[in-house]
Amino acid sequence: MEQLTVWQFSAAAFAGSIAAGLLGALTGLGGGIVVIPMLTLLFGVDIRYAAGAALISVIATSSGAASSYVKDGYSNLRVGMFLEIATTCGAVIGALLTALLAASAIAIIFGVVLLASAALSFRRRREPDPREPPDPIAVRMRLDSDYPTPQGRVAYHVHGVPAAFGLMFVAGALSGLLGIGSGAVKVLALDWAMRLPFKVSTTTSNFMIGVTAAASAGVYLNRGYIEPGLAMPVMLGVLAGSMLGAQLLVRVQSSALRIVFAIAIALLGVQMIYGGLRGTP
C-alpha cells in the first residue's frame, strides 16, 4: 500500500470508523470488532495500539448510542449495572494479559472470537415466553422490566442470572485483552441465558460496553498503548456512526442485518487468524 500522509490516514481511519460505529450500534457487538481488523489489516497498525484506539472508540459508542436507548426505554439499567460487576473484573484481568501475550497470539484469539461471533449470529434464538416464571434471583433483585413496541410497552421476565454473570466475566476478559466491547458474548448472555427480547439485549449491551472498556483503557494507557493521534479520528468516527445507528435501530430488519454482518466478520476472522499464524497480525 502506498505510504499515506498523516491527513490521509486520519481521514481514512475516520471514514472506516463511521461504518464500524454504525454496525456496532445496530448489532450490539461494538465498533471495536470492525475497527481492529480495519487498522491492522488495512493500515498495518500494531494490534495493541489498534486495541487501545478501539477501547476509546467503544467508550464513544456506548456514550453515543446508549443515551438514546436509555431515553427511549429499551435498556434494562438494573440488569446492566448488576452484570457490570462481572465485566469490569474480567476487563482488568484481560488488559493485564496483553503484556504477557505476543501480538500474533492476540490476533489469533481475536480471529477466533470473530468466527464465534459470526456463528452465534446464525443461531435461531428462543423467543421469550412471558408465561415462563422468572429466575428467583431476578425477582429478588427486581430485574424484570418492559420495553416499548408499536403495540405499547411489553413486559418480560429475566432468566439465567448465574449463567449470564459467568458469561459476562468472560466478555470482560475478552474486552480487556482484545480492545473490543465483546458484544458477542454480552448478547449471548443477555439473549440466550437471560432470554431478554432482542432489542433489549442489544441496547443493554451497548449500555454496558462503555463501562467495561473504561476499566480496560486505564491499563492500556498506563502501558503506553493508547496513541492520541490514532485514537482521536477513530473515536470521532465511531461516535458519529453509533449515533446514526441508534436512530436506525428501530427501523431496520434485525435478522437480515445480523446475517450480513456475520458473513463480514467471519471473513475478517479468517484473515486475522491467517495473519497471526504467519506472525504478521
Greatest alpha-carbon pair distance for the chain in Å reads 61
Q: What is the pLDDT of residue 111?
A: 85
Residue with C-alpha cell 465483546? 182
86-123 core/surface letters (b: 16 or more CB in 10 A; e: else): bbbbbbbbbbeebeeeebbebbbbbbebbbbbbebbee
Q: What is the pLDDT of residue 253?
A: 59
Separation between Cα atoms, residue 242 and residue 24, nearest integer Å:
7
Separation between Cα atoms, residue 45 and residue 71, nearest integer Å:
37
Angstrom distances, CA of residue 205 to CA of 48, 136, 184: 24, 23, 9
| Angle (nearest 5°) at CA 78 between 75 and 156 | 65
Going residue by residue through the chain, which has 281 residues, state the pLDDT in tens, using 9 for 90 and above: 456 777 888 888 898 888 877 876 676 566 677 788 888 888 888 888 988 888 888 777 666 566 667 777 888 889 988 998 998 898 889 888 887 888 888 888 888 888 887 776 666 655 556 667 777 888 888 888 888 887 888 888 888 899 999 989 988 888 888 877 666 677 678 877 888 887 788 778 877 877 778 888 888 888 888 888 898 999 888 888 877 876 776 666 556 666 767 777 787 778 778 878 876 55
Separation between Cα atoms, residue 56 and residue 47, nearest integer Å:
14
Q: What is the pLDDT of residue 182?
A: 67
H helices of 38-126, in order, are 43, 47-72, 77-97, 103-122
Q: What is the pLDDT of residue 1?
A: 45
The dihedral region occupied by 137, where left means phi > 0, alpha psi between -120 and 50, and beta the remainder, is alpha
Burial of 78 (0-12, 13-18, 19+ CB in 10 A): middle
- Closest of 22, 34, 60 to residue 248, by C-alpha: 22
Helix (H) or strand (E) run with residue 154 in it: strand 152-156
Angstrom distances, CA of residue 33 to CA of 130, 178, 206: 33, 9, 13
The 3-state DSSP class for residue 74 equals coil
